[in-house]
Structure formats: structure tokens, C-alpha cells
Amino acid sequence: MWYLVGNMFNGKWGSSVGVDAFPMFLTPGYDYDKKTGTGIVQYLNYFLTDTYKDNGESDLAGWKIQPADFNWDKGMNGNGGKKGEIIYRNGGDDGGHILAPENGYYLVTMDTKTLTAKMEKQDITPAVLSSMGISGAFNGWTDEPMLPYNTAGVENHAWYYVLEVTPGNCSEETPGFCDFKFRPNGEWKGYGSVKNAVNYVGVAGDGENLALPIGKYCISYNDITSEFSIVAIQ
């Protein structure tokens, strides 16, 4: 998996998944090899723009895409102050931050096999949710807020929640697993009948509970597309 870091995401530049690095989405309909990490990953949300500093960075809205080992010499960077361009840093000079050409919605698509990525403006005006939660056996089926990917105060449509499944918060109906559902605007959203959703991707809807075995996970949800991704945290 590849991860979003930077000032667009609350100024976080670390390598702790679900704390300061946020997974891109495994998108239904695209090829992705979960063992090798090669394939297509995407991210759709609102981005800010800014003016580049002389060093090719932006304190307001600069960001990068990092590989699973967080080797900064092998990540996806900006292209020397050219807004909207993303290039692979193959051990060479740092290309600086990635920066949107203007404020708005963008779809970021990366091919992790060819190590190429693009940032495309989207002509959409999605409604902003009044609440985004997650509910399950781990919290007694009460609503618990999911957290925004975007930096505080910026319109956001991608959310995450770090769930640690323990023997103490597993479901009585599915021993050894924790059932849960998404709660956009107080609605219930599940998916099919997935009883082991580790490293799973789908489009949430009027389905049954999802379930995860004992372990720690970063659960992501996009309220524009209802897509979700679940990444196991080592």
C-alpha cells in the first residue's frame, strides 16, 4: 500500500499509519495485488492550492505519497514547483511537495507497478456530511466519529478510523471477529456478507455487517463514492 502524508493532511509527515500517514484507496474494478502491492490505487477529495516557496514546498497544502517502507528516496514527489505534477523520486534529488493547481476536487490515481501518478480536477459538488461515524461490537453499537483525512477546517470527504480488535470486543454472533458498519449521516452502510474483511475493498450500501479478526486496522471511507478500504497495520 501507498500512503498520503503532508501539510494537506494536518501537517503530518511521519510513518505511523492511522496517525500521520493515511492509506490511498483500493478501488473496485482496478487490478491490485495485495501480496506485491502492485496495481492501481486512488484518492478522491478536496485539495487546497498555494504558492510554492523557493525550495519547492508549501507549508499550507504540500503533500507526498510514500511507499509502505516509508523510504523517502523512493516516494512520489512534486516536480520542481510544477503544480499538479507527480513524479517518482528514484533516489535522486527531492522534487518537493505535490500541490494542486487550484482549490477544488481532484482524483489522484497511482499505478504502483509503473510508479506513475496523476492528479485530475473533478467537476463535482458533493454534499458535506453532518456526521460520519462507525459502529460495531467494539463500541457496543454506538456511534463513534471517524476522523477526516484533510487538514482541520478544509472540506473533507475521506475518513479513517483505527480499530484494534481484541478478544474482549469481538461479536457474540461471530466469535473471534468484530462486526461493524459505517454511519454516514446516521445511516447504516454495510457490504454483502464479508466475514473477514482484512485488506478488503468495496462500495458500502444496504448490506450486512463487515467483520475483522483480532488485529489492528486502518479503516477508510469515502463519502462521495461510498468506497471503503481496510488495511492491516503491522
Domains parsed from the chain with CATH numbers = 3-121 (2.60.40), 132-232 (2.60.40.3620)
Q: Distance (Å, rounded) from C-alpha 216 to C-alpha 210? A: 15
Global pTM reads 0.91
Query: 86 to each of 36, 37, 82, 99, how far by Cα in Å?
Result: 22, 19, 9, 9
Q: Distance (Å, rounded) from C-alpha 202 to C-alpha 229? A: 7
Q: What is the pLDDT of residue 124?
A: 97
Q: What is the pLDDT of residue 201?
A: 65
Percent of the chain scoring above 90 in pLDDT: 71
SS3 labels along 26-77: ECCCCCECCCCCCEEEEEEEEECCCCCCCCCCCCCCCEEEECCCCCHHHCEE
Q: Which of the residues in the chain have pLDDT under 70?
A: 28, 30, 32, 34-37, 192-202
Q: What is the pLDDT of residue 195?
A: 66
pLDDT in tens, 15-28: 999 999 999 987 76
Q: What is the pLDDT of residue 72?
A: 94
Q: What is the pLDDT of residue 119?
A: 98
Q: What is the pLDDT of residue 173?
A: 81
pLDDT in tens, 93-116: 898 999 999 999 999 999 999 999
